[in-house]
Structure 1
Amino acid sequence: MRKTLFAGLLGSALLFTAAAHAADYTIDTQGAHASIDFKISHLGYSFVVGRFNEFEGTFSFDKDAISNAKFNVTVKTESIDSNQAERDKHLRGDAFLDVSKYPQAKFASTSVTDKGDGKFAINGDLTLHGVTKPVTIDAEYIGEGKDPWGGYRAGFVGSTEIALKDFGIDSDLGPASTHVTLNFVVEGVKK
Structure 2
Amino acid sequence: MATTKWAIDPTHSEIGFKVKHMMFTNVSGKFQEFHAIAETEEDLFDKATFEFSTKTASLTTGNPDRDLHLSSGDFFDAEKYPNINFISTSYTKVSEGEYKLTGDLTLRGTTKEVTLDVEFHGTALDPWGNKKAGFGITGKINRKDWGLNWNSALEAGGVLVGEEVKLHIELQFVKQ
TM-score (norm 2): 0.91
1:179 Cα offset (Å): 1.0
Please give the alpha-carbon distance, in whole angstroms, between the structure 2 residues aligned to 1:175 and 1:82.
Answer: 16
CA contact (8 A) 2:49 2:90 kept: yes
Q: 1:33 maps to what in 2? A: 12
Give 1 or 2: higher strand fraction. Answer: 2
Query: Number of residue pairs matched?
Result: 169
Taking structure 1 as reference, are residues 117 and 21 closer, same or farther at Cα in structure 2, changes over 3 Å only?
farther
- Comparing 160-169 with 176-185, which one deviates more in the overlay? 176-185
Query: Which ranges in structure 2 are unaligned for 5 or more consecutive residues?
Result: 153-158
SS at match of 2:115: strand
1:22 Cα offset (Å): 5.5
Where relative contact order (Cα < 8 A, 6+ residues apart) is larger, the structure is: 2
Q: 2:156 maps to what in 1? A: none
Amino acid at match of 1:188: F
What is the percentage of aligned positions where both structures have the same residue? 36
Please give the alpha-carbon distance, in whole angstroms, between the structure 2 residues aligned to 1:139 and 1:188.
Answer: 14
Give 1 or 2: higher helix fraction. Answer: 1
Q: Say what the alpha-carbon RMSD is for the aligned residues.
A: 1.6
1:183 partnered with 2:162: no
Query: Which ranges in structure 1 are unaligned for 5 or more consecutive residues?
Result: 1-19
Q: 2:22 maps to what in 1? A: 43
TM-score (norm 1): 0.84
Please give the alpha-carbon distance, in whole angstroms, between the structure 2 residues aligned to 1:161 and 1:114.
Answer: 19
SS at match of 1:150: coil
CA contact (8 A) 1:34 1:187 kept: yes
SS at match of 2:162: coil
